[in-house]
Every structure is written in structure tokens, then in C-alpha cells.
Amino acid sequence: MRYLRRASCVVLSALTFLLGDAVFPVRLSSVSAAEYGRPNIVMILVDDLGYGDLRYMGAPDLKSPSLDTLAARGIKFSNFYANCPVCSPTRAALLTGRYQALVGVPGVVRTHAENNWGYLSESATLLPLVLKPAGYHTAIIGKWHLGLDSPNTPMDRGFDHLHGFLGDMMDDYYNHRRHGINYMYHDRTEIDPKGHATDLFTQWAIDYVTSREADQPYFMYLAYNAPHTPIQPPPEWIAKVKARESGITDQRASLVALIEHMDDGIGKVLSTIEQRTEAGGRPTIVLFSSDNGGQIEVGANNGPLRDGKQSVYQGGLKVPTCAASYGSELIKAGSSTSFQAMTMDLFPTICEFAGATIDHPIEGRSIVPTLLGKKQDKLRDHWFFTRREGGTRYQGKTIDAVIRGPWKLLQNSPFEPLELYNLDTDPKETTDLAQKNRGIFNELSVELHKQLQREGAVPWQKP
């Protein structure tokens, strides 16, 4: 453990966030960072991966040896939530440690103003700016999706290095355009590389890892476009799946192939990390999650959960998540937990591992104790989920959910009544209890009302 040394994450245990008439206490972890000082940290975020679309999460027709190995090497979560059932908001939550609407991203950031539902607040503090004073070099490889031009590009918001795609989705995994526009960049320079986006992001991640010197820790945010639409894996991967899985539909085979191709790329990155640590490099923490649930319309498997991407039912919000350590035994192999956490909690978690100071209000809470196998109190009483969207289905309004204990109140359409479910007795959300439990319904309605008022104080359109 050549580079291990004792460190402590500097946290604020009694921050208070004041917005309008609402006061939030912000309680961050105070667990001592014993013997894990300043490891490299890698955050892998994939796009639209279903809760049941990895072999270790129960997929019967899919092989994911790389992510299965990552999960087995460390800890896997069964009760981890994305902040939102679509892309940009969850990414905003990850990089700010805040509820996405409180940093101006309640919906998807898109190319055209009339279909854009988010603008990352210029006052928001992003993760690389917090890590920099702790001595970290920071990089984003892959998908950004929080702004298409200055001041909302990765380099403007604190990253030292960018090799990836600024936009939302690619219309083609090989030409990397969106609406005919090239959003692929290397730092501040537009580039036009050849090859499948998954392969490019994998190689760029490997290049970054191998370029780093051991005397400076790094944070790498590796964000794959896969398995987002278009479902476009390399043809040889489809052939492999069809040869193995008799009776599989063409649609499902294509999605499985896209996920397996991505898993293979992640495996190459993890192998590089392992080789570097074994050669005497700095220990590395690897975190993995998805930005939202899988898209049912293209064949995703969300396991036993209701619905999928775009929805505030469980299938849109619960995501496969795991973490492991390389070059150290900080995270115990073969661990699993039902501890409840969400995307914005990864921000203070990363900061605690890095020994970074958080001196501004956030809603995220560190889960380092859980990762280290220690007992941890619940992170919050109320868990809020919000998405704003346009079109005739939403008309610029929000869909929302709040969870308290076993109870979940949600409105999955702005034009339908609120629904109430008990997730302990009805995890598939089949029986609406709104009329039978008016007390719980009214209490959660008040909390959701308050949260929507807080969110309404932050503009989400470009000034």
C-alpha cells in the first residue's frame, strides 16, 4: 500500500440550507477516513441500463462478466435509486450532490430551445471543483449532457480533461452526430474520430488511466452512451447473442448485444486499473451505476419492477449499482446491501474518499460507512424524484414522486391523480392505496408540495 496514508474527509456536519421559507439540515458523514487517503476514484455511469439487465442482477439471457466481477469484488446494492428517470437530471445530481431541480436541471438538456428543459445553474459547484483543492486531476470520458456550449461545458465547469460527447444521444454510434451536429470534443477542440462510440470511450479511458503519474490522484468520470438508443451494437456481437440464445427476439438480441459490448469495454478499463495498482500504483475506488431504468420499448429488462425509463414507478428509478476497491481491501469482496441511497449521494461519498472539503450546501449524504461494511443510519426521511418534460404527454409540467419509509406517493402523468403505494407489501406497485390511506396521502402530498416550491425558486431556462 505504497500510497496509502491516514486522511480524514473534511465535512460539515451541521450545514443549513435556506431557500425561501424552507430550511434543510445537511448532514454529511463524519466517519474517519482511516487508511484510504486519496485513492484514485473512477465513476462509471451507463445510460438507460435496466435494473435486471446484468447477469448478477438476474438477467437470464445476458452475459456481463466484467460487471459481475466488479460486483463480486466489492459491494452490490439492491435498493439504489437514480435521481430521475431520464438522463440530464441524474447527471446533474451526481456532479453537484443536489436535487437536480435545485441546480436548474429538472428535465433533459437538448439542442433546440423549444424542446429544452434544463439549464445548469452557473452558481452550482461541480465535483471537479471540490476535488481540485484536494490535489486531484479530473477527467470526463464519454457523455456530458449538461450543456452544449460555454459556460456549461466540462472544461468551463472545472474538469481538467474532456474526451467525449457533449450532447444527449447520438443518432448513430459510428458517426456520433446529433441533429447533424458534431458534439465530440477533446478538451476544447472539436474532433471527428472513427469507430463505435463505446469502443472510443473505452480506449480513451484506458489512455487516460495509463497517462497518469502515481504522484497525483485522479478522478475519472466514465460515462457511456450505451445502452441508450439507437440500439446499434457491432454486428458480430448480435451474431454472438443469437447463436447462444435460442428463441431470442431480434429486438432483445440487439439490446443484449449492446450491453455485452459495453460490458466488454468496461472490462478492459478495469483490467488496466488492476494492472496499474498491481504495478505499485495508487489504490483505486470504482463506483458503477446507471442514470435511470431501462427503456421497455426497446426490450429492456427491469426485473420485477413496474415500468421503466421516463417513469417515476420503480422501474424508471431503481438502478443496478455496485462499488469495489483495487489495490486495497477497503470494500469487502462479496458484500451486498439493501441500504437505500440515490445518485446525489455519490458526490459526498467521492469527496469523503478523496479527503475533499465540502463547504457549500448539498442534499447528498455520504455512503462511505456502508461501502466499508459499517452500520449507517438512513440518509433522509423523504426521497424526492422530479422530472419536467414537454410534448403533448407532459406540456412542460412535472411528474413527481416522494418516498417515506415504505410509502410512495407519485404522479406519473401531470394529467392523472396522485397514487399511493406501500413498497414493503406491494413492491410491484399494483394496488393504489390513495383512497384507503388518506392520512399518509395527505402528509406526503404536503411534503411533495413543499419540494416543488423549493424547486420553483431555481430557473431552468437559459437566461
Q: How many Cα atoms occupy the beta-carbon half-sphere of 320 within 13 Å?
A: 24
Q: What order of strands is seen across the sheet that includes strand 398-404?
A: 383-388, 398-404, 407-411, 419-422
Q: How many CB atoms lie within 10 A of CB 408?
A: 25
Phi, psi of 370 (to 5 degrees): -65, -40
CA distance 443 to 449: 10
Residue 374 amino acid letter = K
Spatial contact of 140 and 164, defined as CB atoms under 8 Å apart: yes
Which residues form the catalytic set?
Answer: 87, 145
Spatial contact of 351 and 366, defined as CB atoms under 8 Å apart: yes
CA distance 410 to 422: 12
Cα 315 to Cα 82, 216, 404, 426: the distances in Å are 10, 40, 18, 14
In degrees, to the nearest 5, what angle opens at C-alpha 365 toward C-alphas 124 and 338? Answer: 135
| Neighbouring residues of 76: CB distance < 8 A, sequence distance ≥ 6 | 56, 320, 321, 322, 335, 336, 337
Spatial contact of 442 and 100, defined as CB atoms under 8 Å apart: no
Q: Helices 250-278 and 65-73: crossing angle, nearest 10°? A: 50
DSSP letters for 254-288: HHHHHHHHHHHHHHHHHHHHHHHHHTT---EEEEE
CA distance 309 to 293: 5
| Neighbouring residues of 345: CB distance < 8 A, sequence distance ≥ 6 | 97, 364, 365, 366, 367, 379
Cis amide linkage into residue 230, ω under 30° from 0: yes
